[in-house]
Structure 1
Amino acid sequence: MDIDAVRPRPSVDVVLPCLNEADALPWVLARIPADWRALVVDNGSTDGSAGIARALGATVVHEQRRGFGAACHAGLTAATADVVCFCDCDASLDPSLLVPFVGEVTDGRADLVLGRRRPQGRGAWPAHARAGNLALARMLRRRTGLSLHDLGPLRAARRESLLALGLTDRRSGYPLQMVVRAADAGWRITEHDVPYLPRTGASKVTGTWRGTWQAVRDMSRVLHEPAARQDDTAGGVRR
């Protein structure tokens, strides 16, 4: 992993995992609040995404290991702000919706804030992807006891606490592992509805039945991990 030249510490870092999202980047980056930093994690794009992101003022992190989790974690380790957010880079989610999420974290009302996707318009969320998400959400509720309904990528938490979770998944299971380990550590986790738009371009994960099945398989493995002991999450947030 390598990163562009270091800039002054931002108030919030937004991690944007990116694989061939040249068409979506202008819309996404225009919606990052002015005093926040966009960390676009290029995961091997061949469409010039990295150059476009840099030209639009984003900090570009290069992660050669393929995988959604690898890209997300590279962004997390490159972040320097106290609060780190995550958002897809395909224009399906508006990163400006993270503003109240960050407020909830900084005010101490929550340790991890998640967006529950509400599809807007035809094609916003393919049936197979939605079915896989619903099945995993049910398993997550049984595993953690939390009243969560989505494993969506729009989320906010404190950087040091996230790092202390010791996340190891580098594939599609990364966002689920984050929630499971946070729940095991006693974090206060909240969920809020957010509009989910038709993405720009083709999905690299859940755009096909095969991709959805692979994501479900990755996440199912995470759900079968043994619960972390309290001392395994030293430095994290607890109730």
Structure 2
Amino acid sequence: MTSAPPGAPGGGDVAGAATPTVDVVLPCLDEAAGLAWLLPRVPHGMRAIVVDNGSTDGSADVARAHGARVVVAPARGFGAACDAGMRAASAEVVAFCDADASLDPADLPRVVAPVAAGGADLVLGRRVPAPGAWPWHLRLANRELARRARRRTGVAVHDLGPMRAARRDALLSLRLADRRSGYPLEMLVAAADAGWRVEEVDVPYGPRLGRSKVTGTPLGAWRAVRDMSRVLAS
């Protein structure tokens, strides 16, 4: 029987035995279905930290049933949940991933590996969408924001996707302040300003389970773009 590759579900430590344990922060607001699919796929050598941001569908119970650590973030907002998860982490490397099953945690080792090996300071997962997985208006907004981010930072980034990895202490030193949808972009801008080496790695992107709490409505999408535009203007 062929063994699983390092870092794959059922495999060994991510990127090899010398790689430190990784904490995976999963911001969560009513993502019970996504967590039930996702958590069993978190690779060995990584610990899932589910940050409950006000769920009413039993997401926290699902997370605990799958052995994840649950952290409560009372203040609503994507950035608030990410920050709470990062501060609860203790591993040297912290990764971030959506909890809606649109991204497969089995792809995290490829995102984490350059950081763990010392070849990059921040790695972003560039989403490669399956047909129908990414509504055209959201893809267009992401493309425009990425273009503006390239102009602002000089970093050749093409996606502001949620799957990413960096060293925890370095992230804390950035003193990220956004607690809403601008958090991922603020991380990139602050990292670039600090002279970090930033890379992109392609990751498959599929349809999410359930409706997005951030961009699932036109108003939500507008608010996300507004938050990110404020980061670029600050």
**TM-score normalised to the size of structure 1?**
0.88
Structure 1 residue ranges (4+ consecutive) displaced by more than 4 angstroms after TM superposition:
none
- CA distance, structure 2, for counterparts of residue 111 and residue 96 of structure 1: 21
Aligned to 1:222: 231
- Deviation track 1:185-216 (CA, whole Å, cap 9, x = no partner) reads 00000001111100000001111221111101
Query: Gaps (5+ residues) in structure 1?
Result: 1-9, 226-239
Specify the SS of the correspondent of 1:23.
Answer: helix
Residue 145 of structure 1 deviates from its aligned partner by: 0.9
Aligned to 2:161: 152
Between 42-51 and 102-111, the greater mean CA deviation after superposition: 102-111
Give 1:22's match in structure 2, choosing from 29, 32, 40: 32
Residue 34 of structure 1 deviates from its aligned partner by: 2.0
- CA distance, structure 2, for counterparts of residue 194 and residue 134 of structure 1: 16
Matches within 5 A, 1:173-212: 173-212=182-221
Residue 128 of structure 1 deviates from its aligned partner by: 1.5
CA contact (8 A) 1:129 1:207 kept: no
Aligned residue pairs total 215
Counterpart AA for 1:39: I
Matches within 5 A, 1:1-239: 11-122=21-132, 124-225=133-234
Specify the SS of the correspondent of 2:32.
Answer: coil
Residue identity over aligned pairs, in percent, reads 66
- CA distance, structure 1, for counterparts of residue 134 and residue 92 of structure 2: 32
Report the aligned-residue RMSD: 0.9
Query: Gaps (5+ residues) in structure 2?
Result: 1-19
Specify the SS of the correspondent of 2:71.
Answer: strand
CA contact (8 A) 2:110 2:201 kept: no
CA contact (8 A) 2:215 2:224 kept: yes
- CA distance, structure 2, for counterparts of residue 111 and residue 50 of structure 1: 31
**TM-score normalised to the size of structure 2?**
0.90
- CA distance, structure 2, for counterparts of residue 111 and residue 91 of structure 1: 26
Aligned to 2:4: none
Residue 121 of structure 1 deviates from its aligned partner by: 2.3
